[in-house]
Amino acid sequence: MTHLYDLPAQPLQCYTTAPYPCSYLEGQEARSQVVAPGPLVNHSLYSRLVEMGFRRSGLFTYRPHCHHCRACIPVRVAVESFCPDRSQQRAWRKHASLVAQECPLTFDAEHYELYTRYQQARHREPPAGTEGQDQYSQFLLQTSVTTRLIEFRDHGILRMVSLIDVLDQGLSSVYTFYDPHFPQASFGTYNILWQIEECRRIGLPWLFLGYWIRASAKMAYKSRFQPLQGWLSGQWHDFSALVTLLDTPSRESHC
């Protein structure tokens, strides 16, 4: 375990997990660096941790810590400089009828039903019954930081739910799920555009999008939200410089 010496005085440590199958790169193993104890990570501390490449899943704050791999890159959108491309503009117009509303961060049967349909459509069906509801609540509803739950309805019909953490310098997109039975929809793109506009509305400069992995097709969409920065080798880089660094051999032992 290692101490977080560069963070405010807190009884916190980091530990590295045992290897587990990578969720994004087939045939690869992954490790994570996890901050413990998780419940002590408050709003201010979490804001600083995100600036150092960490993310949150429930009460667990973590970042990739894989040997000989730099594939997982934390990325953030520069809100004030962002200008949507034509495809993003079409997505914004296509879903202009969506109405966003903030909801209590509590279990909602309608939200959970949408979540299970979303998971099933992506071949990752969650456990049924109480076990599935408990996993959903632990994953999305448990938090020790400032988290907002936003639902999006189209003429009263629930289409999408998004969880967002509020940081000192931005918003962090935690997880979004939506109705999977509209193949021509662009709910995911619309949601990121909405979060960018929300950052502008409340005066925050960054939208943190989690990890971008160049070799993962399902992560490719994040690189379309420019200008984008990525965290690598202990600092943030503009996207073009980041790609150059990724193409440069490195002896670093972690992502």
Q: What angle do CA 219, 223, 227 make, to 5 degrees?
A: 150
Confidence check: pLDDT of 230 > 90 = yes
Secondary structure percentages of the chain, helix, strand, coil, to 5: 30, 30, 40
How far apart (Å, rounded) are the C-alpha atoms in residues 80 and 205? 7
**Domain range list for the chain:** 1-255
What is the token pair recorded at 22?
């990578």
Q: Are strands 206-212 and 170-178 parallel, antiparallel or unpaired?
A: parallel
What HEC string does 1-67 produce?
CEECCCCCCCCCEEEECCCEECCCCCCCEECEEEEECHHHCCHHHHHHHHCCCCEEECCEEEEECCC
| Per-residue pLDDT at 13 | 87
For the segment 17-39, what is each residue's pLDDT rounded down to a tens digit?
999 998 888 888 999 999 988 88
Confidence check: pLDDT of 128 > 80 = no
* pLDDT band at residue 40 under the 50/70/90 scheme: confident
For domain 1-255, the CATH architecture is 3-Layer(aba) Sandwich (3.40)
For the segment 134-143, what is each residue's pLDDT rounded down to a tens digit?
999 999 999 9
Confidence check: pLDDT of 106 > 60 = yes
- pTM of the complete model: 0.90
